[in-house]
Amino acid sequence: MSYESKMLEQMAMPTRERVEHALLRSLLRHGGVVAEFNEGEAIVGEIADVFGLTEGQRAAVLKRVYRKENRIVESRLWHRLLFRAADTLAREKLVSRPKATFELTRKKEWMLTESGFDEALRLSDIPAAKKELLPIRSFEVQKLANSIASSPKPENYDPIEPGKRLAKREVESVLRGRGFRIAVVEAYHFKCAVCGLKIAPPDSLLWEVEAAHIVPNHAKGRDDIWNGIALCRLHHWAFDVGWFTILDNYKLQLSGGVSSLPPDEGVMGGYEFIRALADPATGISLPEREDCRPDRAAVRWHQENVFKRKHLI
Ligand SMILES: [Zn+2]
């Protein structure tokens, strides 16, 4: 038995397999990513809490002698155990290593892969059908989000994808849908492009803001950043039902229906969330990057097919 194994046994530390499972569940709670296990990182203590480790177990130090270099390296037994668990998960392709994640997000974090996500759901007794709805990043989806946010826009961009399948979607297009959501809300810094609302729940996992399709999914709108806009739930609804549209110059146009809107409707406290859009100078907040802005063809489609149509009825 190695010195490390002896120490683990002596200190009654949890088995590596149990730590692997705890790590996967913890990744799920943190939106798919956790920081490297450096000294002082909250995640190190958080997983120790899962096992109710004592101060002694948390502080136990492993001394390794490097004879050739004639030096002794000390490391926390718990950090090492955690690292070894993550390393095993990485070898099994259930998580990506901080170095690989860094390539995508510029953050040194362990990140779930799609198979790691499946495994974490299984361990947490969450039905696989919930997968698409959960705000979890995965290595594959993050890659897609990066590519959605950075691919060059084709000339004469068509926001409609004629072959888009709506009823039974392929795995690939489901992943792209998740990548679309990440790319869009990040481009708008998690803020509603109309009212600027930015808020996350107390666990800060799922931002309130949504990635709205300008040409909607049911009309086969593409999952591209140029066909997307970040909107709070209220403005997402108001946009989809045609209360307002986005003009070519990114100003808003409010529906004429506002003239017959009863005074007690569309008001939240003192905030007139519909009438506030009446000022023709009101526009949307755009992403800093010009190549991420909504495409003209997409906003024109909305003007013609959602906004004007509602007025004809
Ligand atoms: Zn809003």
Per-residue pLDDT tens over the stretch 224-271: 999 999 999 999 999 999 999 999 999 999 999 999 999 999 999 988
Q: Which of 129, 157, 191 is the last residue before a domain boundary?
A: 129
Domain membership of residue 101 (yes or no) is: yes
Query: Residue 312: what pLDDT?
Result: 47
Q: Looking at residues 14-39, what average pLDDT do you find?
A: 94
- Looking at the structure, tell me whether residues 122 and 162 fall in a common domain: no
- Looking at the structure, tell me whether residues 103 and 222 fall in a common domain: no
Pairing assessment for the beta strands 252-254 and 244-246 based on DSSP bridges: antiparallel
Q: What six digits make up the tokens of 25?
A: 């569940």
Residue type at 45?
A: G
Query: Residue 311: what pLDDT?
Result: 54
- Looking at the structure, tell me whether residues 163 and 38 fall in a common domain: no
Range of the domain at 13: 3-129
Q: How far is the CA of 210 from the centre of ligand 1 (A)?
A: 10
| For residue 222, pLDDT beyond 70 | yes
Q: Which of 129, 156, 179 is the last residue before a domain boundary?
A: 129
- Looking at the structure, tell me whether residues 100 and 246 fall in a common domain: no
Ion ligand 1, residues whose Cβ is below 5 A away: 192, 194-195, 197, 232, 235
- Looking at the structure, tell me whether residues 197 and 228 fall in a common domain: yes
- Looking at the structure, tell me whether residues 204 and 240 fall in a common domain: yes
Q: How far is the CA of 196 from the centre of ligand 1 (A)?
A: 6
Q: How far is the CA of 8 from the centre of ligand 1 (A)?
A: 53
**What would the pLDDT profile of 259-304 be if each residue is shown by its tens digit?**
999 999 999 998 899 999 988 888 999 999 999 999 999 999 999 9
Query: Residue 167: what pLDDT?
Result: 65
Percent of the chain at pLDDT > 90 equals 73
Q: How far is the CA of 75 from the centre of ligand 1 (A)?
A: 49
Query: Residue 204: what pLDDT?
Result: 66
- Looking at the structure, tell me whether residues 221 and 308 fall in a common domain: yes
Q: How far is the CA of 185 from the centre of ligand 1 (A)?
A: 13
CA 218 to each of CA 131, 164, 245, 265: distance values in angstroms, whole numbers, following the listed order: 21, 9, 18, 28
Q: Which of 101, 129, 157 is the last residue before a domain boundary?
A: 129
**What would the pLDDT profile of 100-144 be if each residue is shown by its tens digit?**
999 999 999 999 999 999 999 999 999 888 888 788 999 999 999
Percent of the chain at pLDDT > 70 equals 97
Query: Residue 50: what pLDDT?
Result: 96
Query: Residue 135: what pLDDT?
Result: 82
Contact 212, 299 (CB under 8 A): no
d(CA 291, CA 152): 8
Q: How far is the CA of 255 from the centre of ligand 1 (A)?
A: 17
Q: How far is the CA of 232 from the centre of ligand 1 (A)?
A: 4
Helices (H), 3-126: 3-10, 16-29, 42-50, 55-59, 77-91, 98-105, 114-123
Contact 277, 254 (CB under 8 A): yes
Give the torsion through C-alpha atoms of 212, 135, 151, 220, to 10 deg: -40
Query: What are the two backbone dihedrals, phi and then psi, of residue 39, each rounded to the nearest 5 degrees?
Result: -50, 130
- Looking at the structure, tell me whether residues 106 and 170 fall in a common domain: no
Q: How far is the CA of 137 from the centre of ligand 1 (A)?
A: 24
Residue with more model confidence, 163 or 204: 163
- Looking at the structure, tell me whether residues 116 and 159 fall in a common domain: no
Query: Residue 138: what pLDDT?
Result: 95
- The pLDDT-based confidence of 313 (bands split at 50, 70, 90) is very low
Q: How far is the CA of 80 from the centre of ligand 1 (A)?
A: 46
Q: How far is the CA of 238 from the centre of ligand 1 (A)?
A: 9
Number of domains in the chain: 2
Domain membership of residue 135 (yes or no) is: no
d(CA 141, CA 213): 18
**pTM given for the model:** 0.82
Q: How far is the CA of 231 from the centre of ligand 1 (A)?
A: 6
Domain membership of residue 138 (yes or no) is: no
- Looking at the structure, tell me whether residues 147 and 278 fall in a common domain: yes
Quote the Cα angle for 312-194-285, to 5°: 120
